[in-house]
Each structure stands twice: as C-alpha cells, then as structure tokens.
Homo-oligomer: A and B are copies of this chain.
Amino acid sequence: MIRHIVAFKLAADDAGTRAAQAAEAGSRLEALVGVVPTLRAMSAGANALDLPGNWDLALVADFDDAAGLDAYQVHPAHEEVAAFIGAIRSDRMAVDLEI
C-alpha cells in the first residue's frame, strides 16, 4: 500500500485566513473518498496545534499501489481540489511511504 503524505504552507499573511482556507481544503480532500475509486482512505485538514515550524495544511491518503495514486492525481475531482490549493499555497512537500 502507498501512504501519500502531502503538506502545504499557505500564502495568506493572516493566520485566521490560512486556518479557514486549510479547513476548506481539508473538507474538500476528505470528500474525495468514494468519488476517486482508487482512494482507500483520506485524513486531511488544518494544522491544529500552535507549534513552532508547523505548516498550515496536510493530507494522508492511502492507495493500494502507485498506479492507484497515479489515477487519483489525474481524476477530475482531485484536479479541482488541487487547483483550489494551488491558488492559495506558498509551499508544498510530499513523501510517499510503502506501508
């Protein structure tokens, strides 16, 4: 199984704006379960603890294999959420674990 971990810094100067945008993005990402057939599980949302070095938004998504992740990346419902995040983010990182 592939565990796809992604995190974002958001561009807005105001912390409240970033938190609201991250919560919106998290809700949209979790709504992809049942819509993107290869997506087995998703937890996503705004950073909830005010700790030094924490970024604004993260997702943890599980797929049976790398082909399932590829299918998710190009699914129209995911592309719509990715475009929303792409418009508000200032930085992105990802790690894909084999679990």
In the assembled complex, A66 has its CB within 8 A of some CB on chain B: yes
- Interface residue ranges, A against B (CB under 8 Å): 2-3, 5, 7, 26, 43-49, 51, 53-58, 60, 66, 69, 92-99
Minimum CB–CB distance for A66 against chain B, Å: 6
Cβ–Cβ < 8 Å partners of A58 in chain B? 5, 95, 97
Q: Are B47 and A95 in contact (CB under 8 A)?
A: yes
Cβ–Cβ < 8 Å partners of A93 in chain B? 7, 53-55, 93
CA distance A96 to B7 in the complex (A): 11
| Cross-interface CB contact of A99 among B43, B49, B51, B92, cutoff 8 Å | B43
What are 19 residue pairs bridging A and B, where the CB atoms are less than 8 Å apart in the complex? A2-B49, A3-B43, A5-B7, A26-B97, A45-B98, A45-B99, A46-B97, A47-B97, A48-B98, A49-B96, A51-B94, A51-B96, A53-B93, A54-B94, A54-B95, A54-B96, A56-B95, A58-B95, A60-B60
